[in-house]
Structure 1
Amino acid sequence: MKLKLTTYLSAFAFSSIFVACTETNEKKLPIIGERATEERIVDGRTVVDTIYHQIPAFAFLNQDSVEITEKYFDNKVYVANFFFTHCPSICPTMQRNLLKVYEKYKDDERIAFLSHSIDFKYDSPSVLKSYAEKLGVTNEQWQFVTGEKKEIYGIADKYLVYTKEDQDAPGGYDHQSYLVLIDQQKRIRGAYDGTNDEQVAQLFNDLETLLKE
């Protein structure tokens, strides 16, 4: 069974504190997710490489009805999350907090934002367009995307974020409020509760750390 972000974040909590307290060089963020090793021969010697979990290829429609793929985020740091436009619980706070990050880095070509709607029934591109405009997004740096249920929920698993269609949940969908930080190699480098001011502040700090790597 694939582990979710909560498990990895608990595991990294102590090690991150230890690195911050003992390391004299610039801090580096952990790489989150499952990993494997691969052997190769270089100049007659066996070299062992670590293969890290990465976000795979994807294709979704954005708020302008244009297909957006993983290539849009090549060589960029980006923040991803999962929401739906009529969410009555965590989404408004999560998106307002992510907007603060967007506003700080607006027009910074090194950074992008990606919000996946988990309401595949209602959140059409035109609905996402209206939502983005009301939120205050004015450029293509922040993409809002929709797709088939299998595709959206499948990519959520790759971000290690829990999402579920649930009639008993507020608005009919259950999901986590993580803002997931992805590096230029499409590896997960951090996750932050978008409804928690302290964790959002940590996202600001970690973004700067990642940009310096």
Structure 2
Amino acid sequence: MENQDEKEVPRELRTPTTEGGNAISAAWDFYNDFLEKLKLSAPDFNCESVLDPESDFAATFDAAWNDGGTDGDKSVEKLMRYAQGSDEERFITPFIIVMEIIVSYGVQAMKADESGQRELAWTFAADAQYWAGILTAAWSDRAHGVKPAAALAKLRHAENVALKEDALKYWRENIDPALPAARAANVLLRVVPLSHKKLSELISAAKKGGKKSDS
């Protein structure tokens, strides 16, 4: 595969398609390294089941591209469901799910860009890049001895931080600041997948901190 310098696209030439593709390339880098390490650390692993990692990854991309229901948000929900019941032994699943998240968002970015929905495409590209960064960091941590559960906790924490930021951004831009926190949370429930209690606390804290006036 190309190294990172070869994959860089000048900023003025970047599009949702190039950014989505770059994120997918990062997912491929992970997958290739993952299989290499798996072969070394698990002698019983059936290497013949993945004769050509690049073709195998391409099949994952093709499946996402050809599936009209590809949805990165649903893949994120899948990761969160897994996290609630994860254990130290099942270290493979979260990383593979994050890889799927990246491919899904990358495909959505490319398709939206192709259909002329540039603003929507950029949101998907941003999500793909975000999760590519999370995957790269978490996989690197594991290589340096961080336990799988700790790596997964990092993924969960990062997602929670992003959701809180999304909630505050939507609140600042779309909700009357005079609306009580509990009622504002009712509106946000339709936009951000956090609990009503958490959203209410978030808005209350923002009101006390005067964050509504920031823009």
Task: State the TM bucket, normalised to the shorter chain.
Answer: under 0.3
Scaled by the length of structure 1, the TM-score of the pair is 0.22
Whose helix proportion is higher, 1 or 2?
2
Whose strand proportion is higher, 1 or 2?
1
Scaled by the length of structure 2, the TM-score of the pair is 0.22
Higher RCO (Cα < 8 Å, 6 or more apart): 1
